[in-house]
Structure 1
Amino acid sequence: MKEKPSERPLNPRFSSGPCSKRPGWSLDSLGSCWHGRSHRAKGGKAKLAEVIEQSRKILGIPEDYRVGIVPASDTGAVEMALWSLLGPRGVDMLSWESFGKGWVTDVIKQLKLDDVRTFEADYGKLPDLSQVSWDRDVVFTWNGTTSGVRVPNGEWINSDRAGLSICDATSAAFAMPLPWDKLDVTTWSWQKVLGGEGAHGMIALSPRAVERLESHEPSWPMPKIFRLTKGGKLNESIFTGATINTPSMLCVEDALDSLQWAESVGGLEGLVGRCNANFAAISDWVSKSDWAAFLAEDVSTSSTTSVCLKVTADWFKALSDDAQAKAAKRLATLLEEENAALDIGAYRDAPAGLRIWAGATVETSDIELLLPWLDWAIEQVRTEFE
């Protein structure tokens, strides 16, 4: 039996959302919060506008793109895009994890669009991206948070496309370079790479997306929280600091704190570098492991933020599916009981295994201290299930 490691991660929070706060964060960081005042007052709008412009600056979003804060986290932002923009063209839906499957369900069963093609792949794989037609609108996730599989780059997206590219980038934004000239609609939330709080989403619209919004009126009723236009024109106020519903100004202040920290570590380049260093530490460990492997079958498509691992040990593979699920749950529970890693069980719909958040707010030193605990814990689980 392996000896229990003597050191634990200083921060055992490896949840894939909401994710760990930035290093050194405390409630004192929110001291200048705009509280007890209307978010529509001058000071409140200024805070919201600052989040928008700081996000634009760090992510490198072109000046002619509109960026706004919207309700209901990344899910709300994606739904807003689907309900507001789809309909004029056929739609190609790409899915290789649970959230992508959810967007497929919404488009087919809720919007009831007729001309929809779906390209799906099992966990660990990508669908064949070459099958996509850019004469159609295309909906996809950049990084599959629940599968640990991402698109390797934007080369597969046609620069001279007729349709819109609609990208759920919630666990990719601030962690992976995004080719903005290839993306017409991009969504994310504060709770992933920035380590912010939930319930607030962001959306970036290219000029082509704005043109679609102003030329297309959906045939279905539009809930208030999805309405991006007013009188047939883009509601510009959403993209200058106004919001459709009331935001939490505590969350706004926290987002500003995260963005200021992001600048302090080198902006986007620094954030990407931190994610890559975390992934490199895990990758080096995986290459030497006799029981763990990436869920992603092609390492070039493996996420550098939501790192999903499968158990490859013979004793584990010999278990029934139900027993594998119980063993993987026991593995995550044991790590939590030891305060070595919190919330690293695989997503409920994913294959049995582990999911380690390795985003920019996580220190590489904590990743390195976690890995021996994984080796220790799997041995404890093996004695219970073998």
Structure 2
Amino acid sequence: MTMKNEKPSLLIQKYINGTASPEEREQLLNWYRSQQPETVEWPAATETEEKQVYDRMLSNIDQHIDASYPQPRPLSKWYYIAAAAAIFMVGSFATFLYLDKAAPEKIQVLAFKNDIKPGGNKAILKLADGSELVLDGATKDSFAHHQDLNIARISDGQLAFDKQPKDAQTDSGAPKYNTISTPKGGQYRIILPDGTKVWLNAISSIRFPSYFSAGERRVEITGEAYFEVSKNKQMPFRVISGQQALEVLGTKFNINAYANEPQINTTLAEGSIRLNRINVSESSILKPGEQAQLKTGGKLGAKIVPADLDEVLAWKNDAFVFNDMPITEIMQQIERWYDIELVYSGAKPNLRFTGIIPRSSNLSTFLKVLEGSGGLKFGIDHKKVFIQSTR
């Protein structure tokens, strides 16, 4: 059976998600191996030559995908081209010659002494009374002694709460707050009592009540989270993250509010958001495709800029997408997802990278793709990743 009968875009998506069967993976590999190889010198001598090689590779991949699967695809054309390009590089399906321009005696010998698997579905539920429940591998029976939690169901990586009546009250007359947090190398999905869906990235948390009282739905987050808010005009949904407060009725958006980042980035995918700065009498309205950037500790309001939704929402879609991103920012994402410690040799490299890599990739695969772009060498020793610039 050939790739032309198998919808290559579907197989690429399965590869990215890590759900492709051995037969499907072999089918995809065979298709790439059948393409005409090209030998190139990398890094290229000039930026113009580098762009020509890159554009030629993408054009060739695009032609094969379009010829094999001409009908409309559910994701953007760029997404599949980039995905194909990443797999193309990782699998070494073309003859790819990398020539290091640095003098050998100046480069420390780095090696992958071990490999590290990607993160997965890991989280801890902290109850109002201070007790904690590990959600990894938990079942509904795990909550038998906590009947007031009203757990509807729990599956691999997702916890759903029962919808509660508007007049639900606790013994004290006030809602009890729960917190779900993810560690390094963890992610999790939650369905709140109002039906709102939340995705938590690594090293993130959400604090929410056991029920939402009349007039308001209020949650607090740290780290990064993506929301699909259930519509309810009578009860605005509010998200508190650091120095900002968001108010929405029903929409889809992403908040990146890590404590070690210089700013809070709020990106709107659908609907509208009013962004308020806490203790400051000013607000901003976001439109779909826009990002609000609020400097941590700054006194000015948020800066509104166009957003790259594919890049911002990639983590939720089980991929890393980089569009001319500084390597230091990429390494921060790697640090969170693979639960490792970064060790730079000398000054941090001033390099940028464009590409897409599945989040299901082992760390060595990820680092080899970055090495292939030129200018970097990596080493792995237990939970430490050593980074050295070769330029």
Q: TM-score, normalised by structure 1?
A: 0.28
Q: Which has the higher contact order (CA 8 A, sep 6+)?
A: 1
More helix by share: 1
Q: Which has the larger radius of gyration?
A: 2
